[in-house]
Structure 1
Amino acid sequence: MPTHQVTPPLDSLVLYKSRPARVAALGEKIEIELEGGQTKRVRPKDIELLHPGPLRRLSELVPLEGELNAAWELLEGGETTVRELAELAFDDYTPASAWAVWQQVAEGLAFVGTPESIQVRPRAVVEREQAERTAKEAAERDWRAFLERMAAARPAPEDAPRLSEVERLALGQSEHSRILEALGHPQTPESAHRALVQVGHWPERHNPHPRRCGAPIGDIELPVPDLDEETRLDLTHLPAYAIDDEGNQDPDDALSLDGDRLWVHVADVGALVRPDSELEREARARGSNLYLPEGVVNMLPWRVTEHLGLGLQEVSPALSFALRCDADGELRDIEVHRTWVRVTRLSYEAVEQRLSEEPFAALRAFTDRFRARRFAQGASRLALPEVSVRVEDGRVNIRPLPRLMSRELVTDAMLMAGEAAARFCLEREIPIPFAVQPPPESTDESTDLASMYARRRGFKPTRLVLEPDRHASLGLGHYTRATSPLRRYSDLLVHQQIRAWLDGAPPLDRAQVLERIGEAEQSSIAVRRGERLSNQHWKLVYLKENPGWKGQGVVVALEERRAVILVPDLALEARIRVRDAVTLNQPLRIAVNEVDLPDLSASFRALG
């Protein structure tokens, strides 16, 4: 715009907001005619003279054939006006030729400026910008075509790199996707997940939850040192039994009886994984094994398990806890030794059939006394449904876990070792992570499903701290986790501290232990969440692939117009709308309605 305004003549061609207009009347304000026949009153400074006219109607501005390119070549690098350029290109200066020139100026490629001062751009600049514009137009065409393919759920193979942007949002690695925004989808991981499945980039079964939670998804590739020569107590004469689920791949504990003394043998992971070694730092960063229905991601390299898993070699090195249990269930005469053990591996189901035989009957007597003390001290009697979820040969298998006495026997033996380790370290002032849990608000110990469901919701999470305190749900005054060092970092840390004391070396101080606890627990939180959401995902995959599924749910809580149900066969919690009044613990025959995998939800209906 010029710095001063000159009133344009009547019937002149002017520019108004970059579009042509005709001066229709003059006055305090100027009346102009716009395209389409509308009129408008404007100030002189709102318009710019392009041609003095006369212009009777805007329809006279017809397209013209001229020599604008030749004019540009002639004037390249100089300066001109609308009038001069029109006369060069069209051999005449008319409203139509002025408008044709201005359209070229407005395009901003070969010419830029104002009607009275048009810069004619050099060839190099024009060619560079033309190339950029061509590339941009091609990119825009490609983008529109891509969005059309996405909307039609028919992406091309070459679209895969572009979809990585949506994957990052689906995996919680970014908060925005230009693609989802263009398609009008919400900017959420669930929406991104749904979009990737809809276009076939992810299979419907794809499990994004471990990566979304930040859990590790690949095994470790680190060298594993050989076992050092150490003095060990030879216990190979004692039968030792590693009792676990069928198919378990990381046996890290076993049991032996030696007269009235119980030995709990634990894989001596601290013998290979030393504090501040590369292996230890990696285990700390991971926190624990990641157990998924589709497989296990190990905290440590598999070669560590091959060396140290109890029963995987003819003779195994162990850190063994010896103890006696008196008639009141109290632990006595606690000892810890580096040992050699010869271990036989058995499944829970196999031992269940042999509980009346020795040594299992005597082992059960040991753990029964201990369990009685725990329950007398307020241990929780939760027995909510549990299932094993596995993806095997492409098939989702869900198997309810029966309440086996053999499983309870092993659980209590591991808790005995945990209490023994806690007391051993406490008496020697060895800093370790103690596992503590405050009591729930409710003291109701009813064993119906609804009561146990409510009680579990009232439990506060277990914390790892330096000061020993009560673990309410276990009914123990002092407790630490010490029997799973192959798969849980806090157990490995306890082993390292005990081994340092056994070696006469200084253990880590309290600040070092606290720092390691904090780092590992952050990783463990991601692992536990990844496991929980993955189990939910595969349960829902099972339901989606079995749309005719019917089963039983049990009402465990009541909400407005809805009931919270537990499905024992799936260990699945869901909400269901009910027409008639229902009561807690009432069984309902149900069928699956709809499954939404990205939202991790399923709806059910009551039958009958």
Structure 2
Amino acid sequence: MSIHQATPPVDSLVLYKVRPARVVSVGEKIEIELDGGQSKRVRPKDIELLHPGPLRNLGELVPQEGELTEAWELLEGAETNLKDLTELAFDDFTPATAWAAWQLVAEGLNFSGTPQAIQARTREVVEREQAERAAKEAAERDWQAFLDRMAKAKPGPEDVGRLGEIERLALSRSEHSRILEALGYQQTPESAHRALVKVGHWQARFNPHPLRCGILMEDPALEVPALSDEQRLDLTHLTAYAIDDEGSCDPDDAIALEEGRLWVHVADVAAVVAPESPLEAEARARGANLYLPEGIINMLPADVTERLGLGLQDVSPALSFSLRIDADGALTDIELHRTWVRVERMTYTQAEERLVAGDPVLSEMASLCGRFQARRRANGASRLDLPEVSVRVEAEGVRIRPLPRLSSRELVTDAMLMAGEAAARLCVDNAIPIPFATQVAPDKAEGATDLASMYARRRCFKPTKLSMTPDLHASLGLPLYTRATSPLRRYSDLLVHQQLCAWLAGAPLMDEQAVLSRVGEADAASVAIRRGERLSNQHWKLVFLRENPGWKGEGVVVGLDERKAVVLLPELAMEARVRPRDEAALNQRLRLAVSDVDLPDLSASFRVLGEAV
């Protein structure tokens, strides 16, 4: 007999969604009672009849014992209905046995369908479903065990693959981690970083920022061609000086003097890196060397530096700018040659000592550069003496060393700027397409004589841009300028060299569109490099503070922001915000102590101990 009825009678057992219900009354809508005593009025189509009753109380639906497996085996592959299945399995059709039979159907293993059309699945389907359910249950147990290990911060070797999911979020390669969500973390790279450190998968001082910026973390492995056999001017009789920071390992410029003429030698990288070559494509894709406190990742194979770095071999090939500086600091008699040079390397400190001792060659160079600098100052060049430091990760810890303002450093800076202006003039005069470095003048032209005004002045300048049209570089005080003295470490300089060398050889030049396209690609990569360097330096400064929790030092107030003061910490070349005890004034010196360091958030807090004496 079919149990299907258009309107189920009072006291019948019906299915409401997945729950059993008893029909209480029948009208335009049907009133049903759910387990727990809750009443509800529903439409006839919202329920399905399981048994016509009578069912006086849902409490009658107690578990039943029957021949469930035998019923399935008899019906395997056939179709039936709930009444027939119930009678076969329990030898009786009551509300309680009907509900027990329906639960077997709802379980979805041996049976499926509706009360009026139940399909008994085949053995093959049932066994496959059983295997899938067992696998799912095992996976769920494994997942819960993993989450338990993570909550206890004790992941095992078997968890490395799963932790890769968190790493991808920590390195900004994905936007979501199911694991972090289950553990209650926010879906951010910082939270992922914090979780990986907590469970010991990342070391506490691990620096994720270059990888997070998408930067390649190994030198390119490409073959470097031999130096071409071409005519070069022999300048090995002149002593040239490559002056760099302590520990520098990629010297790509040097200076020499010859009877009042200044020579600026630059590593001739274009001699082995030709346009359209694999080396050129690799350098363009990387944009620049990556300088990290942990070390350097080169945009070109290390062999290029070893062979062409000035002073790393007894004699080096160079692209050399020759020029004179008149009494007004203007460049005259500009020449460009491919040369052989002999270079002596020294640090800025060593060069400073020789300047102080009156070294005649370095002193004459300083005098020439001084005239050039005076001209730049007269043209509005900014002198911002803001704190600078060198950050290095060494075996014994993080080393932070202030970089003092030295005459030797200014000498080299001005010599390189001369070479940049000379290269730009040569390219303009000879219609050579190159990227010019330009910077518009700031709206405000106030001078900057103290730390607070220098800090404010720096914020007025817009970033330097590369343009195919020569124009002013405001902060340098130069009417036109290009970057041409770092081809080992910066692609735009290498591109300028390639054009200049083609011009010297009378070879075809890249047109403006080709140059612009290359500049655009390399500049996009350089943005990531600069960001990676900036964030990495901040990271290691914070590691230093965390590993030196007793650190105390001075901060100079350079800005006022509501109730907080913006301070520069000269010892660390670091900016922070503090809450002074009393109202602060610009350039006021405060004694500070570190309070807390949060590496994943790249932040530190400081407390004010008082005013510095």
TM-score (norm. length: structure 1) = 0.97
Where 1:236 maps in the other structure, the secondary structure is: strand
Cα distance, 1:130 vs. partner? 1.9
For 1:393, give the aligned amino acid.
A
For 2:185, give the aligned amino acid.
H
Aligned to 1:390: 392
Q: Matches of residues 273-352 of structure 1 in structure 2 within 5 Å?
A: 273-352=273-352
Task: Map Cα deviations across residues 379-417 of structure 1 (whole Å, 9 max, x no partner).
Answer: 101010000000011510000001111111111111111
Answer yes or no: is the 8 Å Cα contact 2:4–2:116 preserved in 1. Answer: no
Aligned to 1:561: 563
In 2, distance between residues paired with 1:146 and 1:89?
41
Answer yes or no: is the 8 Å Cα contact 2:252–2:310 preserved in 1. Answer: yes
Where 2:206 maps in the other structure, the secondary structure is: coil
For 1:247, give the aligned amino acid.
G
In 2, distance between residues paired with 1:387 and 1:264?
26
Aligned to 2:537: 535
Where 1:353 maps in the other structure, the secondary structure is: helix
Corresponding residue to 2:473 among 471, 478, 487: 471
Where 1:607 maps in the other structure, the secondary structure is: strand
Answer yes or no: is the 8 Å Cα contact 1:268–1:319 preserved in 2. Answer: yes
Is residue 517 of structure 2 the alignment partner of residue 515 of structure 1?
yes
Cα distance, 1:314 vs. partner? 0.7
Cα distance, 1:45 vs. partner? 3.0
Cα distance, 1:32 vs. partner? 2.9
In 2, distance between residues paired with 1:234 and 1:395?
45
Aligned to 2:366: 364
Task: Map Cα deviations across residues 289-328 of structure 1 (whole Å, 9 max, x no partner).
Answer: 0000001000100000111001111110001110011111
Aligned to 2:143: 143
Cα distance, 1:23 vs. partner? 2.9
Cα distance, 1:544 vs. partner? 0.9
For 1:472, give the aligned amino acid.
A
CA pair 40-434 structure 1, distance change in 2 beyond 3 A:
closer
For 2:596, give the aligned amino acid.
E
Cα distance, 1:3 vs. partner? 13
Is residue 50 of structure 2 the alignment partner of residue 50 of structure 1?
yes
Answer yes or no: is the 8 Å Cα contact 2:252–2:486 preserved in 1. Answer: yes
CA pair 30-496 structure 1, distance change in 2 beyond 3 A:
closer
Task: Map Cα deviations across residues 88-115 of structure 1 (whole Å, 9 max, x no partner).
Answer: 2122222221111100111112111111
For 2:592, give the aligned amino acid.
I
In 1, distance between residues paired with 2:469 and 2:44?
83
Answer yes or no: is the 8 Å Cα contact 1:431–1:509 preserved in 2. Answer: yes
Answer yes or no: is the 8 Å Cα contact 2:448–2:457 preserved in 1. Answer: no
Where 2:104 maps in the other structure, the secondary structure is: helix
Answer yes or no: is the 8 Å Cα contact 1:80–1:119 preserved in 2. Answer: yes
Answer yes or no: is the 8 Å Cα contact 1:64–1:97 preserved in 2. Answer: yes
For 2:130, give the aligned amino acid.
Q
CA pair 540-3 structure 1, distance change in 2 beyond 3 A:
farther
Where 1:20 maps in the other structure, the secondary structure is: strand
Aligned to 1:505: 507
In 2, distance between residues paired with 1:469 and 1:480?
10
Query: How many equivalent residue pairs?
Result: 607
Where 2:154 maps in the other structure, the secondary structure is: coil
TM-score (norm. length: structure 2) = 0.97
Cα distance, 1:172 vs. partner? 1.3
Cα distance, 1:448 vs. partner? 0.2
Cα distance, 1:71 vs. partner? 1.1
Aligned to 2:497: 495
In 2, distance between residues paired with 1:263 and 1:529?
34
For 2:556, give the aligned amino acid.
V
Aligned to 2:260: 260
Answer yes or no: is the 8 Å Cα contact 2:3–2:52 preserved in 1. Answer: no
Aligned to 2:122: 122
Aligned to 1:429: 431
Is residue 88 of structure 2 the alignment partner of residue 75 of structure 1?
no
In 1, distance between residues paired with 2:5 and 2:562?
72
Q: Matches of residues 182-261 of structure 1 in structure 2 within 5 Å?
A: 182-261=182-261
In 2, distance between residues paired with 1:4 and 1:435?
85
Aligned to 1:180: 180
In 1, distance between residues paired with 2:30 and 2:445?
87
Cα distance, 1:207 vs. partner? 0.8
Task: Map Cα deviations across residues 17-54 of structure 1 (whole Å, 9 max, x no partner).
Answer: 22122234445544433212333343433322212223
The gaps in structure 1 that reach 5 residues or longer are none
Answer yes or no: is the 8 Å Cα contact 1:561–1:579 preserved in 2. Answer: no
Cα distance, 1:5 vs. partner? 5.2
CA pair 123-517 structure 1, distance change in 2 beyond 3 A:
same
Where 2:540 maps in the other structure, the secondary structure is: helix
Answer yes or no: is the 8 Å Cα contact 1:9–1:23 preserved in 2. Answer: yes
Cα distance, 1:184 vs. partner? 2.8
Where 1:359 maps in the other structure, the secondary structure is: helix
Aligned to 1:152: 152
Aligned to 1:579: 581
In 1, distance between residues paired with 2:574 and 2:481?
30
Cα distance, 1:534 vs. partner? 0.4
Corresponding residue to 2:405 among 383, 403, 406: 403
Cα distance, 1:9 vs. partner? 3.2
The gaps in structure 2 that reach 5 residues or longer are none
In 2, distance between residues paired with 1:452 and 1:578?
22
Is 506-515 or 60-69 further displaced after alignment? 60-69
In 2, distance between residues paired with 1:75 and 1:85?
9
- RMSD of aligned residue pairs (Cα, Å): 1.6
Is 521-530 or 125-134 further displaced after alignment? 125-134
Cα distance, 1:151 vs. partner? 2.7
Aligned to 1:10: 10
For 2:402, give the aligned amino acid.
P
Aligned to 1:459: 461
Cα distance, 1:164 vs. partner? 1.3
Structure 1 segments of 4+ aligned residues over 6 angstroms from their partners: none
Is 24-33 or 586-595 further displaced after alignment? 24-33
For 1:498, give the aligned amino acid.
L
Q: Matches of residues 108-119 of structure 1 in structure 2 within 5 Å?
A: 108-119=108-119
In 1, distance between residues paired with 2:287 and 2:340?
27
Cα distance, 1:166 vs. partner? 1.5
CA pair 26-274 structure 1, distance change in 2 beyond 3 A:
closer
Answer yes or no: is the 8 Å Cα contact 2:3–2:49 preserved in 1. Answer: no
